[in-house]
Amino acid sequence: MSAVIAPFPGVSRHNQVGFDKNELAQILNLYGRMVAAGNWRDYAIDLGRDAAVFSMFRRATERPEYRIEKRPALRNRQGMWALVGEGGAVLKRGHDLGPVLAPVERKLMKLVDA
């Protein structure tokens, strides 16, 4: 028995970029740890024709602190993954999601006295 995936209304499944299960799990894992640390409180997902974007917010009324963008058209050039900062600057770009998320992962690390 195979799963049936229904596209969002008004968007053909073939014209919509999305996150697969592993990508979304990796992003939500980071999001959950940042929420637990008190850094983020909300998120948004935008699935469009050219890109899928996961935005993370400190508060729901602000601009996103970070956006993770997946643009398959850039796969063979600089990489389809990009980490975009609050001001709109691309902080990291790459072919794999893990290294692109590394700058945000570093924010979770804290020095501890031994």
Q: Tell whether the model's pLDDT for residue 111 goes beyond 70.
A: no
Task: Classify 71 as helix, strand or coil.
Answer: coil
Cα–Cα distance, 107 to 18 (Å, whole number): 26
Where does the pLDDT of residue 82 fall: very low under 50, low under 70, confident under 90, or very high at 90 and above? very high
Q: Are 108 and 33 in contact (CB under 8 A)?
A: yes
pLDDT value of residue 109? 76
Cα–Cα distance, 61 to 71 (Å, whole number): 26
> DSSP class of residue 8?
P
Mind listing the pLDDT tens digit for each residue in 24-79?
999 999 999 999 888 888 999 999 899 999 999 987 677 889 999 999 988 888 88
Mind listing the pLDDT tens digit for each residue in 9-25?
665 556 788 888 999 99
Query: Residue 55, class by beta-carbon neighbours within 10 Å (0-12 exposed, 13-18 middle, 19+ buried)?
Result: middle
